[in-house]
Structure 1
Amino acid sequence: MTETTGSTGTQALVDRHRLADVPLASPSAHQGLLEVFRRRYVLRLLVKREVQGRYEGSFLGFLWSYINPLSQFFIYWFFMGKILGASHGFENYPVHMFAGLIIVHFFTETFGAGTRSLVGNKGLIAKMSVPREMFPVATMLVSLWHVAPQILILIGVGIMEGWQPDMVGMMCAVVAVLIAMILGTALALLFSTANVFFRDFGSFVGIINNYVRFAVPMLYPFSLVRDNLPTWVTHLYLCDPVAIACLLFQRAFWVGTTADPTRSAAETLPDHLGLWTLGNLIAAVLILVVAQRVFQKFENKVPERL
């Protein structure tokens, strides 16, 4: 056990030295998200460093990737499903809720950790000549890495409930993760820059993430929104990319567990889901483009403010 811990510590020290030994150059020569992925070696080191840092000194280690989402699942299921009665008359409510929870957790982790990424890595920013977008991107990839065990849990529960996967559903799952990935990275770029100048933005992001959990059809079905709110409010609701991503993930993993998937999709999913998906995907990409431009405008001021 001691030998294993020592080797892990040695490897982490070697990785830090590799990061520190990246040759210095003008930061302006390495701007842009494309340059981030051209430097995949450094990006892998940052992701590995972040993952190891999360579990350093932990007895359970990677098992926390399963424990944390499962604990959230049971809390929401018990209080919302059982005590408040959200699951009454709703088929396979736990699967519906957990499908939305995975997307929400991925987005909020990307957004929150990405916002803190520049401040949290100020030592590396001062030493390394890499595109500074790399730090929010690395936190997004770490969050994406933790999505895998959550999906495995969801698939296992779905299979026990008679899940019937289909090609359209799998495409919906991929697009859902893509939307959350793009939007989370875009907002992380914007707010990480703002957080360098005003630390209040880190706390503000926490408030936004608390709102997100109730502003998407995770704890309740979309049909409640459609049936109880005016049409224009429903359309405004569907302009939220995270809400669409939740609906897509539920289409992929929840609809197939119901007794009549066609009827479940018609009753709990919005009309023209494909068009709403396309519109929100385009919107997420445009937000990412704007976020990249804003980040580039202020990134040269980041080191002096840190």
Structure 2
Amino acid sequence: MTDRVATPSAAPLPPGFERPGRSRGLVDVFGQRYLLRLIVRKELRVRYQASFLGLAWSYVKPGVQFVVFFFVMGNFLGMRGMLPPFAVYLFSGIVIINLFSEILGNATRSVVANGALVNKIYLPRQMFPVSSVLVALVHFVPQLVVLLIGALVAGWRPGPVELAAALLAVMIVLCLALGLGLAFGAINVAYRDIENIVDLILMVAIWFSPVLYPIATVRDTFGADSVLMRIYENNPLTIAVELFHRAFWWPAADAAAREGAIVDHVMNRGLVALAVCAVLLVIGDRVFRKLSRNFAQEL
């Protein structure tokens, strides 16, 4: 009769230690905030290395974008007279769309761009898309300051509804962009065509949300009760843009310009959109966690 060899079980870890290689998703990221700060600093340093203007590009890029759209849409298509003050209407939409575009674009490329770190050490891989969010917020704040100054000059006075609308819009964009960025960033490791697809999405995003024109224009084209209009109105990106219009443009606009310019019940729609985007964030994190097991081999 032979003796059975007992299989040794995993030894218990001392207090304060965790077994490596087990991912808890985004929870792990915020448990290692110091490492996250290092990655954000690295991203900013690499981006502006040997750059003459440095962080000033946060003003230059949206500034040029604003001037071009203001000249074309405001003068050629008459939006200056239709949506006064059109400068505030236009720039508030540009600011929130740029936040979405930067997060999603950089998050999609973040894992591939940091392939050397992925192959060398174990760390929560979600840190790379999350760092894209923080870098985008660094660029978002200067644009928001410019928007605030312009809105104040135009006659804007903040109130509880305006502040709540702005905060709700930012939360929708952060959840939506990070959720999509996690999913696309993970898939992009195996299929690099994804980043090109995302570029196409971002290219048309500003045209398929009411940044350059009022929602009434879309309603007149699609029909108020059409399926396309309902899809357009309930698109989280449309709602985020309209919330920024409600926050910064609406108080300074006259009654005639307000009529039909913002989607109905935008605050209620915003709460629903935030819940949907939160679900998308959870799904994106699950997709990322599942696909991250093969990152080292793919990279």
* TM > 0.5 fold call: yes
CA displacement at 1:228 relative to structure 2 = 2.9
8 A Cα contact 1:196 1:302, kept in partner:
yes
CA displacement at 1:246 relative to structure 2 = 0.3
Partner of residue 250, structure 1:
245
Q: Structure 2 residue aligned with 1:33, among 26, 29, 38?
A: 26
In structure 2, C-alpha distance between the alignment counterparts of 1:302 and 1:101, rounded to whole Å = 35
Partner of residue 151, structure 2:
158
In structure 2, C-alpha distance between the alignment counterparts of 1:182 and 1:252, rounded to whole Å = 19
Partner of residue 109, structure 2:
116
Deviation track 1:26-46 (CA, whole Å, cap 9, x = no partner) reads: 33x233101101110011111
Deviation track 1:37-91 (CA, whole Å, cap 9, x = no partner) reads: 1110011111111111111111111111111111111111112222333323321
In structure 1, C-alpha distance between the alignment counterparts of 2:145 and 2:249, rounded to whole Å = 14
Partner of residue 169, structure 1:
162
User: Quick check: which one's helix share is greater?
Assistant: 1
Partner of residue 294, structure 1:
287
Larger radius of gyration: 2
Partner of residue 199, structure 2:
206
In structure 1, C-alpha distance between the alignment counterparts of 2:259 and 2:29, rounded to whole Å = 42
Secondary structure of the residue aligned to 1:36 is helix
Letter of the 1:239 partner, please give it. Answer: N
Deviation track 1:81-118 (CA, whole Å, cap 9, x = no partner) reads: 22333323321111101101111111011111100000
CA displacement at 1:131 relative to structure 2 = 1.0
Deviation track 1:124-149 (CA, whole Å, cap 9, x = no partner) reads: 11123211111001011101111100
8 A Cα contact 1:101 1:218, kept in partner:
yes
Partner of residue 10, structure 1:
none
8 A Cα contact 2:165 2:267, kept in partner:
no
After superposition, the CA RMSD in angstroms is: 1.7
Letter of the 1:280 partner, please give it. Answer: A
Identity of aligned residues (%): 36
Secondary structure of the residue aligned to 1:30 is coil
Name stretches of at least 5 consecutive residues in structure 2 with no aligned partner: 1-16
8 A Cα contact 2:23 2:289, kept in partner:
no
CA displacement at 1:24 relative to structure 2 = 11
In structure 1, C-alpha distance between the alignment counterparts of 2:37 and 2:283, rounded to whole Å = 26
8 A Cα contact 1:24 1:129, kept in partner:
no
Secondary structure of the residue aligned to 1:289 is helix
CA displacement at 1:264 relative to structure 2 = 4.9
CA displacement at 1:267 relative to structure 2 = 3.0
Partner of residue 64, structure 1:
57
Secondary structure of the residue aligned to 2:166 is helix
Matched, 1:241 2:248: no
- Using the size of structure 1 for normalisation, the TM-score is 0.88
Aligned length: 281
Name stretches of at least 5 consecutive residues in structure 1 with no aligned partner: 1-22
In structure 1, C-alpha distance between the alignment counterparts of 2:151 and 2:73, rounded to whole Å = 20
In structure 1, C-alpha distance between the alignment counterparts of 2:29 and 2:155, rounded to whole Å = 42
Change (3 A) 1:124 1:25: farther
Q: Which runs of 4+ in 1 moved over 6 A?
A: none
